[in-house]
Structure 1
Amino acid sequence: MESSCSVGVQKMKIRELVPYAENIMVIGVIICKQRPKKFTPSNESEEVRAVFNFTIRDSPTDYINVTCWGTDMFVSGFYERFQIGDVAQIMNPKVELRKIDDYGEQFQPMVTSPFKMILNEKISQVTVLLDGYPEYMNSIIRLPTKPITNYVALADIQANTKVWEGKLVDILVAISSIGDARNVKTKSGDSYVRNLVVFDYTATGFGLSIWDSDFIYRASLWKSRYTILFMTDMRISFDNYQKRARATFTSKTIVTEDPECKEARDLREYARTAVIAQSAILDKLSYTFLEPSTIQNVMNIQQINTKIDEVCHSQPEEQFTALLYAAITYMDLDGLSTIVTTRCTLCKCQVSNLLNKCENVNCIREDVPTEVAFDLKVKLSDHTGSLLNCKITGATAERILKCKVSDFLNMSDDEKTVLKWKFLLERHELRLVVLCVRGRLPLISIVGCNMANPTVMNQRSF
């Protein structure tokens, strides 16, 4: 497949192409590629044929789809050898006018060229260029291939999954976490998949599945809170296991890594300090309500659990408030439960006390300043049931306990027991903020806690 430029070959840019041009050479950077497809011959004596599609670009405005035909060995070798980001020199392609109503067009990325190039194993040649082009090509590969302002917000997809399901959308996202590549069995045989969680201004967690081998590898180079992706023509589906929407690559998808545009720069700036860890979300819910007394909608625990079920199935990332009269039936201040946590000041994930290292392997900070904060789990009960996994965190916990976290750490076990029994089994007037996150347990933050006035409680409780 490698060849030097022959004498008499005409070098052309994508915008200069004309149908049936002969003896030409086109140079461009590969911006996406698709898995080869094999065709089983009707006659066993014939070789297995295959086809491979990829897309190249040679300027900010010009990109074209290329189809390579040949034997299975030739096409498979081509696919493995040429990677996204490589600068390819294409010799002797066949140039044809695209037909928008062609069946194959619906499975290829949107491009600006009215033409397509077809490579034939016997007459076409492709070479990877290492010198002279990479710097320029690296700059144009970071330019979006579609208007970036047309992206769909993740919260819109989550809130209207039935509307978006099965459709192709463009999204602009930051990386939250990157899963390991794992082998799975599919109808077509063994394959690899890598799951990612991404976020934007509107949603803290959205799942992506990557099946393409190139991007499975490239994802290992992405960084949490730093890498920004503009992804076109992603298919939205409903994950029945996690009960939430997710996006999957299609044959039309083009991924622009760290796109060079204002929208991406602004999102990267936001992503560096965005609240995405669950403990940090609870803190945010707590300090958002500077005046808990504004929460006046009285509910019992049965009503709260019913509303959680309703909201989590219809409006993920939605929050509601409740005023609850209940007893605190679990608060292990003097036991073995984790009461205080050491966290990274940037991503709010836990920091190992032994290594003083953020447990988020994708955190962009190495020498991490830490903070110590309350992370207290409590259980609430009334005559209608119990509410589990409630949290009192951060500065709100210090206000409710009337105790600084630094003072708590210096308390004896007996002093902690005394503090616990000031709250345990007593009826309280509790202000709650509940954040429903589809596919996960709801986040329930206690933002206000006072001893209940029996007269007021009898008047207002159910």
Structure 2
Amino acid sequence: MAWTGRFSDFNDVSYAAESSDRRTKYPKSDIVKNTTLTKLENLHPGISSPAVAGIILTKDVPKCIQSKKNPGTERYLMSFVLRDAPSCFVNVTCWGTELGIKDIAAKFAISDIVQLSNVQVQPKSYDGYEDKYKPSTPMSFNITFSENHSNIDHYSGPEADFLHGLQNVPIKANNDYYILEDVIAHGQSLSGEHINLLTVVRRIGPVKDITTKTGKKTKRCELKLMDETCASFALILWESDMIDIAQSWVALDTVLFIADVRVSYDEFRATMVSTADSKTIFTVNPDTLEAHSLYQFAHSQNFVEQEGTTGQSDPPLESITDIYTVSKLMDMKKERTDQWKPTIYGIIFAYLSHFDVDGDTSRVLRYRCQKCRQTVSENTGYACSNPECSNGILNTFSSTVDNTKPSVEYSVPVSWSDQTGTIDYCSIDGDVAQQMIGIKAEEFPKVSFQRKTQVKWTHLLEKRKVHFKLSRSVGEAGKVFLKVLSCKSTDAEEFQYTIQ
């Protein structure tokens, strides 16, 4: 998908709907225009009563805790993240009475531009609490706001437009995220961790009132996300401003960069899900190449909504028409090894030059835990190493217990060749391999060597029309995946015509 400019074609989805009704309750006089402000990058513990301005990236709901100084009394607090530059954002904690903190929470919303004055700058605490419960920030300090001594107001000074633009800049590197395919198929080891995602909103579920086991009443909303590799992935929102904000998002028109979202294995659904918590920060419609490409992809698909779908979202084979040589395919793979580029779908006409199905069976088959899909091996007794899975690392698979047998599927290493070269380290997986081999994967170990050799020479050095998908995994050193979507025989005329 070609880059055609900035996000001028995105719907202007903002948080105004969530905050406009609140602002009507307060007079315009509370909006300050200028004062002596200190940039976050120039703050340090000990600085005397500074004033700062920035955009609110996220905020949590007011909380009540027991006072340590005055046992038997309660204190209220609320936290939010303030940002005044792409690489400068900080946690702010407001302390005060119940009425004061709830008033601040109601008056100021995510994406508001605010000014704080007479605040305290304190070094970060490294007791583990912040890493576990607060958003990760690049600053070495936090800001403390006191209802009795500090002030917070809306800000519309000379920096307001610049600060407003920061809401479309992700707080992490543009390519620092996982694709959903990786999270589902290989991410069980990530269960319980916080990761970054770049996704499109596919569906927004209703807001539900929930009563917890302890009797607490809360709200819950579930969204379905998607990207180029996965048609549906659950995101769960619990009571927070984000539930209200999410109601203004538009399916297939809203791209999200989600920083530090918690992923976990859902035993009931038998798949991975994500949950926004106190560490999570959303960037809506981020102004990046990767986000723009994903937006275009979402609008190029004809989706049929299927509740609970977690499989691939690959286009129909008949819609894939671009033809490449093996040499060009190798170049595109190398490009994606060096840097992120959009997923490519295409066709090659090539010979199957390596198809060693009569070799080591362990190199032809792949075993997975039936519950969580974690890859398991014979060397460990097919033990599942995912601690979140009920099979668990301490459980081993037994032939007498049906629900703990590993599932088995094909993953056959192959090479493809044409007149321009040979590409190695490819594989034919799953149903595509089973259709070619003509033997169910679970029956393959029992097949004789002679039969396997016969299958090998049925396909080796034969002309094939191969539909493929080339995609890159996460990070600077992300792995590049070449997935065979279809492998069919082709006649000599079509083969000769297409390679000229």
- Fold conserved (TM > 0.5)? yes
- Of the three residues 146, 155, 158, the one matched with 1:120 is 146
CA distance change for structure 1 residues 186 and 44 in 2, over 3 Å: closer, same or farther? farther
SS in 1 for 2:296: helix
2: CA distance, partners of 1:71 / 1:320: 62
SS in 2 for 1:148: coil
**Match of 2:288?**
261
CA distance change for structure 1 residues 148 and 71 in 2, over 3 Å: closer, same or farther? same
Unpaired segments of 5 or more residues in structure 2? Answer: 1-25, 307-311, 321-345, 348-356, 358-366, 376-406, 408-428, 437-486, 489-500
Contact 1:174 1:271 in 2 (8 A): yes
- Of the three residues 118, 132, 150, the one matched with 1:92 is 118
Is 1:228 aligned to 2:255, yes or no?
yes
Contact 2:265 2:372 in 1 (8 A): no
SS in 2 for 1:50: strand
Contact 2:222 2:235 in 1 (8 A): yes
Contact 2:115 2:152 in 1 (8 A): yes
SS in 2 for 1:109: coil
Contact 1:107 1:252 in 2 (8 A): yes
**Match of 1:140?**
166
CA distance change for structure 1 residues 4 and 206 in 2, over 3 Å: closer, same or farther? closer
Deviation at 1:244, TM superposition (A): 1.2
SS in 2 for 1:160: helix
Work out the percentage of aligned pairs sharing the same amino acid: 25
1: CA distance, partners of 2:95 / 2:368: 55
Deviation at 1:286, TM superposition (A): 7.1
Deviation at 1:37, TM superposition (A): 2.3
- Of the three residues 411, 423, 431, the one matched with 1:320 is 431
2: CA distance, partners of 1:287 / 1:5: 54
Is 1:78 aligned to 2:104, yes or no?
yes
Contact 2:30 2:154 in 1 (8 A): no
- Of the three residues 136, 139, 144, the one matched with 1:110 is 136
TM-score for the superposition, normalised by structure 2: 0.55
Deviation at 1:78, TM superposition (A): 1.7
Contact 2:225 2:235 in 1 (8 A): yes
Deviation at 1:231, TM superposition (A): 0.6
2: CA distance, partners of 1:283 / 1:98: 48
Is 1:205 aligned to 2:232, yes or no?
yes
Is 1:153 aligned to 2:179, yes or no?
yes
Contact 2:270 2:371 in 1 (8 A): no
Deviation at 1:49, TM superposition (A): 0.7
- Of the three residues 195, 207, 220, the one matched with 1:193 is 220
Deviation at 1:133, TM superposition (A): 4.9
- Please tell me the residue identity of whatever aligns with 1:272: H
**Match of 1:247?**
274
CA distance change for structure 1 residues 312 and 114 in 2, over 3 Å: closer, same or farther? closer
SS in 1 for 2:316: helix
Deviation at 1:274, TM superposition (A): 3.0
1: CA distance, partners of 2:368 / 2:131: 44
Alignment of 1:270-285 (within 5 A): 270-274=297-301, 276-277=303-304, 284=316
**Match of 1:412?**
none
Is 1:69 aligned to 2:95, yes or no?
yes
**Match of 2:65?**
39
**Match of 2:465?**
none
TM-score for the superposition, normalised by structure 1: 0.60
Contact 2:135 2:281 in 1 (8 A): yes
2: CA distance, partners of 1:254 / 1:10: 29
Contact 1:204 1:275 in 2 (8 A): no
1: CA distance, partners of 2:192 / 2:300: 33
2: CA distance, partners of 1:282 / 1:140: 33
- Please tell me the residue identity of whatever aligns with 1:57: R
SS in 2 for 1:182: strand
2: CA distance, partners of 1:170 / 1:310: 27
SS in 1 for 2:172: coil
CA distance change for structure 1 residues 134 and 274 in 2, over 3 Å: closer, same or farther? farther
Contact 1:49 1:69 in 2 (8 A): yes
SS in 2 for 1:150: coil
* Number of residue pairs aligned between Structure 1 and Structure 2: 321
Alignment of 1:440-451 (within 5 A): none
SS in 2 for 1:267: helix
1: CA distance, partners of 2:53 / 2:37: 8
Contact 2:31 2:154 in 1 (8 A): no
SS in 2 for 1:141: helix
CA distance change for structure 1 residues 282 and 59 in 2, over 3 Å: closer, same or farther? closer
Deviation at 1:207, TM superposition (A): 0.6
CA distance change for structure 1 residues 163 and 191 in 2, over 3 Å: closer, same or farther? same
CA distance change for structure 1 residues 164 and 47 in 2, over 3 Å: closer, same or farther? same
Contact 2:188 2:272 in 1 (8 A): no
Contact 1:109 1:254 in 2 (8 A): yes
Unpaired segments of 5 or more residues in structure 1? Answer: 291-296, 298-306, 325-446, 449-462
Alignment of 1:431-446 (within 5 A): none
What do residues 146-193 of structure 1 show as CA deviations (whole Å, max 9, x unaligned)? Answer: 112120111111012421111111111111111111111124511111
1: CA distance, partners of 2:147 / 2:313: 56
- Please tell me the residue identity of whatever aligns with 1:244: T
Deviation at 1:53, TM superposition (A): 1.2
2: CA distance, partners of 1:152 / 1:126: 37
CA distance change for structure 1 residues 205 and 125 in 2, over 3 Å: closer, same or farther? same
